[in-house]
Amino acid sequence: MTFNANGFNVTYGNDIAVTALEEIGNYVLVTQPEPWALLKNRVTNQPVQIIQSGDLAPEHLDHLAETSPSTTIVGLGGGSAMDTAKWIHWRRSLPLIQLPSLPSVDACFTRMSALRDRGGVRYEGDAVPEMVYVDFELFRAAPRVMVTSGIGDVLSCHTAWFDWRFASQEKQDEFGWTPELATISQTYLDELYDCAPGISELTDDGLRRLMELHRDIGWRCHEWGHARFEEGSEHFFAYTFEEVTGRTILHGELVSMGVQIMSHFQGNNPERVRETIARAGTRHRLSELNVTEGEVLESLRRLPSFTIEQNHWYSFARMLKPNEYNDKEIISLLNW
């Protein structure tokens, strides 16, 4: 069955970023040094202003919005460039064009910006770009792990739907679980499994299909008004890891780690998760991720209390009891 995505206008192609920039008239560019370095000497139509993205504090973003020239806003880069461009566009009602340089997250296909506020993440805004240009050459110029980690926020559907159903069984569901929802998640997961070798090999087909998954998931988040189908105990594990260690690693790799661990606790086909990760060539061994066994185990110990404190949605994260699992077995789930 072919997967058909909904969502924002999108154009896919090879080396389409330069042409796109030549044709849009005046623009403010929101970017990071690496992707702009690839393009700047090839573009005649230079931006009227360049804004470096990175700081996602709301005060900073509002300052950027207030001082931006009134012209088209172009985001070029990863999540922070997309989110900053979205904020300026939304605050000022200026046209928006997005040129993602990484498929690591779905920020170019979601409406809200992820703000970093008082140590946490908060989602706000309502951005709709005129066009998202996906230039495969930009992806292929990025470090490979930034591409192969892009499966994380699709793979998370594997554990998220299971958590959602569990919450419903426990009478703790505020979003209206129905059995058809499992089918929707399965469609995403089957498509991901199917296109994973293309992601690993960075083919046009693999990259396009990964972005189409992100596009549809971004659309569904807005359509349903929540991300319950895509965010569950695997993300709660990731947030706990960040709290326990005071640092983070690539989001998609951390979330994939969470899916491997939590699908095991759910008794929810962890073999299939492992196979998908293997096919996509996503890093998973702790040594490759520079994560210690102690950090994983400590995060797991903290998970049940942290997820309750943070008022996360009801999930398997609440059910873990340290005396009921074997530390070695958990580590072996990751070091294959």
Using the rule CB under 5 A, give the single segment among 64-72, 81-89, 119-127, 145-153 that binds Zn ion.
145-153
Taking the complex as a whole, the smallest distance from the CB of residue 229 to Zn ion amounts, in Å, to 12
Q: Sign of dihedral through CA atoms 248, 249, 251, 252? A: negative
Taking the complex as a whole, the smallest distance from the CB of residue 105 to Zn ion amounts, in Å, to 7
Q: Which is nearer to Zn ion, 135 or 216 (CB)?
A: 216
- Spatial separation of the C-alpha atoms in residues 15 and 166, rounded to whole Å: 45
Task: Select from 50, 58, 42 the least CA-distant residue to 75.
Answer: 50
| Residue least distant from Zn ion (Cβ) | 153
**What residues numbered 293-312 form the site for Zn ion, per CB under 5 A?**
none
Residue type (1 letter), 280? A
Size of the site for Zn ion (CB under 5 A): 1
Taking the complex as a whole, the smallest distance from the CB of residue 163 to Zn ion amounts, in Å, to 14
CB 234, CB 27: distance < 8 Å: no
Mention every residue, 6+ apart, whose C-beta is less than 8 A from residue 171: none
Q: Which is nearer to Zn ion, 76 or 250 (CB)?
A: 250
Q: What are phi and psi of 267, to 5 degrees?
A: 65, 40
CB 133, CB 16: distance < 8 Å: yes
Decide if residue 234 touches Zn ion (CB under 5 A).
no
Q: Which is nearer to Zn ion, 106 or 135 (CB)?
A: 106
DSSP secondary structure, 194-225, as one string: HHHHHHHTT-HHHHHHHHHHHHHHHHHHHHHT
Q: Which is nearer to Zn ion, 153 or 191 (CB)?
A: 153
**Sheet hosting strand 96-100, strand order edge to edge:** 10-13, 131-135, 96-100, 72-77, 27-31, 49-52
With residue 250 as reference, give the H or E element that holds it.
none
Using the rule CB under 5 A, give the single segment among 58-66, 149-157, 197-205, 307-315 that binds Zn ion.
149-157
Decide if residue 106 touches Zn ion (CB under 5 A).
no
Decide if residue 153 touches Zn ion (CB under 5 A).
yes
Taking the complex as a whole, the smallest distance from the CB of residue 133 to Zn ion amounts, in Å, to 23
Taking the complex as a whole, the smallest distance from the CB of residue 221 to Zn ion amounts, in Å, to 11
Taking the complex as a whole, the smallest distance from the CB of residue 126 to Zn ion amounts, in Å, to 20
Q: Which is nearer to Zn ion, 74 or 155 (CB)?
A: 155
Taking the complex as a whole, the smallest distance from the CB of residue 327 to Zn ion amounts, in Å, to 26
Using the rule CB under 5 A, give the single segment among 147-155, 164-172, 207-215, 292-300 that binds Zn ion.
147-155
With residue 27 as reference, give the H or E element that holds it.
strand 27-31
Summarize as ranges the residues that interact with Zn ion (CB under 5 A): 153
